[in-house]
Structure formats: structure tokens, C-alpha cells
Structure 1
């Protein structure tokens, strides 16, 4: 084992790497492919991870800037999690959730409920974020059917949102290109504006921008009819939409309108939960809101096992139990609901987070944000924004127009390619670079990450100037 590991870290491709690339091109369909390359594509091959680092097939060691996909919160290669997986698999690898249960799932539900705000007390466990959001929406539909309100099913979502890839969850998405070629339940969704302060009209104050968003929400409820709207679904911070941090007080005001109009508030914390903002859940501890439901995934197991879930208000469950339809069945479940291995991993992951990682994340987050902010010195950068250990560097053609598309639709990929050569994996989103490193990152490692990102952006600026694409 040691000899094989040495091959990888010294830059020698491990036997089989070339075969994996060829097999991917011939047989593997990657997520989010383009029609012109679907089923014939190989992406960067990652061999192993350790702490905040990953190593590619050429032996290049990279800072894992996106923490996988917002999820490797406690870092790669944690032996205690691997041991829990092994131990649980040897004890019980699976049980059907239709008519049996396992102890780790019940223990995890209690631990999660203990951290949840308000009266969120019960947990339905799924396989990931998309299925968590899908479950919350289906529960809303069931809830209103049982209460005799079959017309109360519309869902409020926002521009810039990302809520998943299953049918209902994907219907809520509001990012550019997500829905260009994909169908959705458009008849069920009402879209609102993104709470993106950077894109507010020139000369408008932040207070006026916030008031406008609230007025839009209130006017939409009045126009559509509260009796037809079942839920509002919102990320506390719009993650894949570019780390959009809402204005102060915005979420609280939206929550009040929902409460006044009997609209369920679903807080999508698939990204922000389990430490990304320094707390197990950000809804209450960071934003001061108590939703009717919270969806989660990703960091619940730090990416070591597919798991997600929905936390549901005690009030909603009591209303169902008091209804005139005690035999109404919530006809929803997944083969891997409450998977014992995933739940055991999540319990150990929570132990690690609670022991020191959450406190560390809160301690280094201001430094992370301050260091990233220095990149606004670069003329290609329009804004650096973020919260906790989430950050986004948005590149623009010029700061006056804030127009990213005149510049280059692939500027984020250009920066990522340079950073990869320099030792950093970036998540490129058209004209943006998103950073969400493992929560265990140190100040020195933050310095390394930002220095590489600065050089990657600088090299990209040089490329664009040479090509005549940009004159900044």
C-alpha cells in the first residue's frame, strides 16, 4: 500500500489511470454534459485526497478549493470515518426502511433535531440534496391535500437559485443555462428576483433594494393568491448561483410574510448546513429564522457517504395527526432512506464537527473573507463576496457595466486551468470562481490558496489582453 501511495505523490501515474480515462470516454456519462460530447468525455482524474488536498493522476497536489462539491467539510482521509463505515457494514450493511428500522437512523434524527431551530423536531432521511428538496415539496403537497387544500401547491423560488436535479427540485432552479434544454413543472413554480446586491440598479441604496425585494414578494403573494401558494424555497446563501449573500433582514422579512399567509418556508441548507457557515444549521444561528422545513445533505457526512434529509416542524405533523384523514398515506420513500452506514458516518461526522471543527471554522472565516477580498485589487474582478467559508470571485468586462458575457463565457474555466497548474482546484461558474474549502483549512493554507488564485487570475488577464478580448 505504501509503495502505491508513493507512486501517486511523486507524479507517476498509477497503473490503470490511462485505462480509466479511456473507459470514461467509451462508457461513462458525466454530470451536466453537452450534447456534442455526451458519453465521450473524460474529466480530470483524481487519485486520492488527504486533508485539504487532492492528488490528480499526474501526481499534481492540489488544494481542494470547492471541498469536493461543498461537502468535504472535515477533510479527506479521516480514518475514524472509514472505520465507522467498516464497522457498521460488518454489523448491518442495509435494512429495508419500509417495515424495519436501524438504531443509527433514530440516533441521528435526534442529534439533528437537537441542533435545529424552532420546533423542527422530526427528520426524513434521503440520499442527497435533490431528493431532500423533492421530499420537502412532496410533503408540502401531501400536507395540503390532507388539510383539504388541493389548490395550495404553487412554489415560490428565485432567480439564481439551485435546488437540485430531480424533476420538482430542478423546476425551481434559476441559474443561467440550467433550464435551457430541460423540462420542468413550470406550472407549479413562480419565480422571484435574486437577492443579489451586486446586481442592483446603479445608484440604488441597499435599503431600497431590500425593500424592493420585499415589495415584490408581497405583491406576488397578493397577485397569485396566498390560497394557491404552498411554499417558498430559498437557500440562506445562494450557493451555486454565485454565493449570493442576501441583505441584512431580508430573510426574516420573507419569513414573516410566509407566516402571515400560511405559506410554508423551506430553508434549503444543502450547502450551508454542517459547518459551512460555522454552525450545524445557519437558518437560526446565522440568519435568525425558524423555517417550517430545512433540507440538508453534503456536509452531513462530509461527503463520505450519500445522505440527505428534511427536518419538519412539529406543528405540521400535529396538524396532520389531527386531520379527518388518519388513513391518508404519504406515499414517498427511497430504497436507501435511513441507510445504516450513512447514518453511522453522519453521527461520527457530527462528533468531529462539534468537537473542534465548527469552532475552527468560525475562527478562520473572517480571515478567509478578508484575504479573498484583496483580489478586488485586480481589474478583472468586479466583486468578491461571501460568508463563513463560502466565497465567490466574480469577473466582469468592466466594473461600470458589470457585464460578464462581453468578456468571455469561459473566463472561470480559464482561471481554473491556470490554478490547476499552480496547485489549486477552483470551481468555475461561467465568469465566477467559487471557493468553499474544507473547514479544517489553516490561515497559512488560506494564504496559499489566495496567492494561487491571484496568480491564476493575473495569467488569465494576460491571456485575454494578448487575444484582444479584454483591455483592462
Structure 2
């Protein structure tokens, strides 16, 4: 007998009393009026339980790249479940869908990143990268080479290890594996550059990396992990040439470079992977999730270079790492169908045009008095609100101007993500120019409204 879902808003909210939301003020959510109940979605719209349609300006959570309700992906998942609903890629088992997806991902990844470990979230992908590198160094007789360099402002996940690599603000009041991680300087020129030119600031960032390697000891450092564009830390773009210079310092010190492309891959910046195409590097490991299936199934990938794989696959030891749902058939089917859609409709190529239209139009919002900086690239934009624009005096953390603007935008029909005194946009990649203009008008009107109130 089928279990019927609640459809009335009050019934949904009553059932929701048992649900723990992620990254939420759980005390505030005891007031159920604070919740938005989403019951359906199609294209770049989601529908509330009261029937209102909202533009999904955050793509679910950076992930619904091809848009909602794409029948091609839904049918691929259904066909797979009717053929092979579940089997693991543990031990000596494989299946056609995971094997084909691994082959396709390896074809799309740059350089010699030819070996793919599947899991079910970006957090686990990054956790797996570190665990694999620790094992790699053990096999090379370097048991002390375990420390990880990350950055202030980074976001790498929410497991005990991945949140340690995330900027410390996300661990406030919580424990993590912080003894393994050292955070270096945030590469945000607008906020951190002071009186320096951007070139001087870049030099200072490289100096900071070299100083930290010297202080910790290269012999103790396994990896440096970096997002090509920082996401949940506020959509921060490093100075041009940053990643190439950081990668060279790492290579010179035998430190592996992990590119966290959980957000930036699969079209968000106009390419299947951004590391090489946009930032000129071929890292040792790429991690990805979100856009890999456009959120239709939970799936992530940790993509390893040939050199790393050859070490961890030497005879004599078992690869003692695995998840029950690694390479899940339905998730792999979603990934293959998602990539096929992107290739058939040339979505990454379209984003190189429409993403730039979105970026350039939203960057004109910096003419508003409340806006200190609009930053990011293509369909990945952050808007920073500031108390005193001329002197770059920020609002207090408790002012939560981002939330105020997000609430004003939602009343006008747009979901945007508040982050303290910032607002983040990461919509589906299928936006056309008319809806881009609508998003711009909603944001502009919402910012003007909040500016008048505060």
C-alpha cells in the first residue's frame, strides 16, 4: 500500500517538525512561518505549496544545472532501476553504468586524471581525496606527510574532515579534524588587498603560501586544496594567475594540488571542468559533485591522476576505502543522461555567452549605494552589501542584510541565497536573456527597498 504524502501546507509543516534542516537556525524554524515549502519544479521555476511560482536563483544548491524536470534524466533513472536497481562497486564487482560514467568523466577531465572514485556528496569526495593521499604517502614511505593547506574563506564540505578544510566560520561551536589543516590567506583582493595593486597582492599570496610551507615543512604537507572560485565563502575570485602560481609552488615542494570543482564543474563557468580551461592548471586531483547529475541523484567523484593511482594500486595492500552507494546504478545513469543532455544542447558553450550576460548585467548593481562589490563569473555571482561604500566599512554580522534582500526578492518571485551581508546567485544554466533581465530587475528593486529601510 502506497504511503500518501501530505499536500496541505499545514500538514506538511506538521510532518516537518521531525526534520532537521541543514545550516539552519533550528530555533527559528520552530516558527514554521519561516519555512518555504517547495512541492514541484520545472525548468528554472519551483512551486510553493500555496501555488506561487519562484525563479530558482540558486539552482537548488549550486546543482540543478540543466534545470528541473528534465524527462531524459528521469527516464534514464527509471530504466536503470528496472534493469539493475542496486549493486555496489565493492570488491571485484562492477556494472555497466558506473563503468561507462567513469570512462566518460575521465575523458572530460584534463590531463592524466583518468581514475574515478564515486561517492555521494562533495564532502565525501573531498574527504576521500585526503584519505587517499594519506594512504599514497604511506605507500611511498612518507608517513608524516599528512597536513593539508586550505584557505580562509574556503568551503569544502561538512564531514568531520572536510569541514576542517572549510573556513573556520563554518565550525563555530563545533569540533572538526582541525589538527590536520592549516588555513592560509584568503585571496579576496577587494577586501584584503589594502593599498596594494592586484599584482602586488598576488605576490603577497604566493609569499604567504611559501612562508607557511617553510614553517610547517614540505615533508609534512600532503596537499593544498582550493576551489577555482570560492563558493559558499562568498563567491570569491582570486587574482588572475593565482592558481597557476600556487600550483607551481606546490609542485616545487611535492605537495599535491586538489581542485575542488564541486560547484565550478559541469557547465557553471562554461566548461565541463574549469581548472585547465579557465585557470590554466591540471591538478593532481579534481573533486566534483552537484552538477555531475544536476542534482537528480546524489553522486560525487574524486578524480585521480595516473601517478597517484599507480602508487595506490601497487600489489601488497587492499584499497580500504568504500561507501555502500559508491557508483550506485541509478546515480550513474543520472550522470550519463545529464552529460548527454549537456553535450546535445551544448549547454557549456551557451553558458559562455548567457553566463557572461548574467555576470555583466548583475555587476552593474554595484552602482547602488548599498552594494560594495559584485563578484564572480558566469552563473556564479556574489553581491556584497556594505554600510559605508566610500570607506569600505562593513555591516555588523548581526545586521544580516543578505537575508533582508533575499526576503524582499522572494516576495517578488526570486529565490536567492543569503550569506551574512552577501547574496549569492547560482541559477540553472538554461536561463535565457529575458529571464536574466527579470532576475536583474527583481534584485535591483529588492536592494533599493532594503536600502531605504536601513
Q: Give the TM-score, by structure 2 length.
A: 0.95
Tell me, in whole angstroms, the C-alpha distance in 1 between the residues paired with 2:193 and 2:284.
33
> Alpha-carbon deviations, 1:75-115, whole Å to 9, x = none?
01111111111111111110022232211111011111111
1:367 and 1:196, CA in 2 relative to 1: closer, same or farther beyond 3 A?
A: same
Alignment partner, residue 86 of structure 2: 94
Whole-Å separation in 1 of the counterparts to 2:46 and 2:300: 24
**Equivalent residue in structure 2 for 1:107, among 100, 105, 130:** 100
In structure 1, how many angstroms separate the alpha carbons of the residues matched to 2:134 and 2:165? 15
Deviation at 1:223, TM superposition (A): 1.2
Output the TM-score relative to the length of structure 1: 0.92
Task: Please give the alpha-carbon distance, in whole angstroms, between the structure 2 residues aligned to 1:286 and 1:260.
Answer: 22
Alpha-carbon deviation of 1:15? 3.5
Alignment deviations for residues 202-257 of structure 1 (CA, whole Å, 9 cap, x no partner): 32110010000000001111111000000001000001111101111110011011
Give the equivalent residue in structure 2 for 1:416. Answer: 406
**Counterpart residue number, 1:217:** 209
Shift of 1:318: 1.9
2:21 aligned residue: 30
Deviations 1:63-86 (CA, angstroms, capped at 9, x unpaired)? 100101000000011111111111
Q: How does 1:249-260 map to 2 (within 5 A)?
A: 249-260=241-252
8 Å Cα contact 1:381-1:393 kept in structure 2: yes
Q: Hey, what does 1:350 align to over in structure 2?
A: 339
After TM superposition, the structure 1 = structure 2 runs for residues 334-349 of structure 1, keeping only pairs within 5 Å, are 334-349=323-338
1:277 corresponding residue in structure 2: 269
CA distance in 2, matches of 1:424, 1:308: 28
Q: 1:172 aligns with which of 165, 171, 174?
A: 165
Structure 2 unaligned segments of length 5 or more: list them. Answer: 1-5
Residue 333 of structure 2: SS of its match in structure 1? helix
Match of 2:3 in 1: none
- 3-state DSSP class of the match of 2:360? helix
Post-superposition offset of 1:330 = 2.5
Picking from 176, 200, 207, the partner of 1:208 is 200
Give the counterpart of 1:380 among 356, 365, 370. Answer: 370
Q: Which moved more, 1:155-164 or 1:88-97?
A: 88-97
Segments of 5+ residues of structure 1 without an aligned counterpart are 1-13, 465-472
Q: Secondary structure at the match of 1:108?
A: helix
Q: Could you say which residue in structure 2 is the equivalent of 1:332? A: 321
Query: Would the aligned equivalents of 1:410 and 1:431 in 2 still touch at CA under 8 Å?
Result: yes
SS at match of 2:166: coil
Residue 35 of structure 1 deviates from its aligned partner by: 5.8
Residue 175 of structure 1: how far off its partner (Å): 5.5
Shift of 1:281: 0.4
What is the CA–CA distance in structure 2 between the aligned matches of 1:431 and 1:215, rounded to whole Å?
30
Residue 402 (structure 1) shift: 2.5
The equivalent of 2:227 in structure 1 is: 235
Q: What does the per-residue CA deviation read over 1:36-78, in whole Å, with 9 as the maximum and x for residues that have no partner?
A: 4577766210111111111112222111001010000000111
Query: Contact conserved, 2:139 with 2:311, CA < 8 A, in 1?
Result: no
Q: C-alpha displacement at 1:17, in angstroms? A: 2.5
**Cα distance between partner residues in 1 of 2:31 and 2:298:** 26
Alignment-derived partner of residue 138 in structure 1? 131
Cα pair 2:383 2:422 within 8 Å, conserved: yes
Q: CA, structure 1 residues 369+202, in 2 after alignment: closer, same or farther (shift >3 Å)?
A: same
Aligned counterparts of 1:87 and 1:95: Cα–Cα separation in 2: 15
- In structure 2, the residue matched to 1:8 is none
Check whether the contact 1:29–1:38 (CA below 8 A) recurs between aligned residues. no
SS in 2 for 1:286: helix
**Partners of 1:29 and 1:39 within 8 A in 2:** no
Alignment of 1:460-471 (within 5 A): 460-464=450-454
Q: How many residues align?
A: 446
